[in-house]
């Protein structure tokens, strides 16, 4: 019979479909795993509601559970439990190593444009002489920034 630990382990092998350097467990989207005999229920919290990778993630999780010989039930939880603070420290490091600036921690007060315009650290050269080019980017979770020091555009994971 499968254990919750085995399920967590298997889910940690699934890469994010859009940013494959980070796993779904590092991304923090697996809220909980419940094992009841051969039935495994995975509570999955989407990152951004408009993310086109949601179905791919859900199907990949079901596939992994099935490969363990269990019956998967992946419940999409549309509540407020996911935030970018749930990305693990290892996940943040993997993002940075592959050229994505990780999200800044959430603040209690609402985000202001001026905070986003200040110099976030460039994931390539480490300079903080960077500017915000666009609040929006190629996927819902990313903003586009530019490093004035190494002249490299880079993407930043939005804080939500």
Partner 1 sequence: MSERALLLLEYADDELILGWRDSEWTGIAPSLEEDVAFSSIAQNEIGHARALYELAARDLGTTADDLAFDRDPAEYRCAQLVELRKLDWAHTIARHWLYETADELRLAALKDSDDEEVAGLAAKMDREEVYHRLHARMWADRLRDEPRFQEAVVGLWPYAAGVLPEELRESFMDIVPGPGPGTGPVERGVHSDELRPLWEEMTMVRRSIAGATW
Q: Does 144 contact partner 1 by CB under 8 A?
A: yes
d(CA 75, CA 65): 13
For the chain, the first-to-last Cα distance in angstroms comes to: 38
Nearest CA to 94 among 31, 37, 12, 2? 12
Least Å distance between CB 56 and partner 1? Answer: 15
Name the β-bridge partners of 98.
none
Least Å distance between CB 139 and partner 1? Answer: 8
Q: Decide whether 80 or 108 has the Cβ nearer to partner 1.
A: 80
Backbone angles phi, psi at 83, to 5 degrees: -140, 170
The contact mask relative to partner 1 for 79-118 (x = CB under 8 A, - = no) is xxxxx--------------------------xxxx--x--
Note the residues at the interface with partner 1 (CB under 8 A). 48-52, 78-83, 110-113, 116, 133-140, 144, 158, 160
């Amino acid at each position: 019979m499968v254990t919750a630990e085995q399920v967590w382990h298997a889910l940690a092998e699934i890469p994010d479909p859009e940013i494959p350097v980070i796993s779904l467990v590092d991304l923090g989207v697996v809220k909980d795993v419940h094992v009841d005999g051969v039935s495994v229920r995975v509570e999955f919290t989407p990152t951004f509601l408009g993310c086109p990778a949601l179905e791919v993630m859900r199907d990949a999780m079901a596939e992994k559970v099935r490969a363990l010989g269990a019956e998967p039930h992946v419940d999409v939880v549309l509540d407020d439990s996911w935030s970018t603070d749930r990305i693990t420290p290892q996940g943040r490091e993997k993002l940075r190593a592959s050229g994505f600036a990780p999200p800044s921690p959430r603040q209690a007060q609402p985000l202001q444009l001026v905070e986003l315009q200040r110099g976030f650290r460039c994931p390539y050269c480490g300079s903080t002489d960077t500017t915000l080019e666009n609040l929006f980017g190629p996927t819902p979770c990313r903003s586009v920034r530019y490093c004035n020091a190494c002249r490299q555009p880079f993407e930043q994971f939005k804080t939500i």
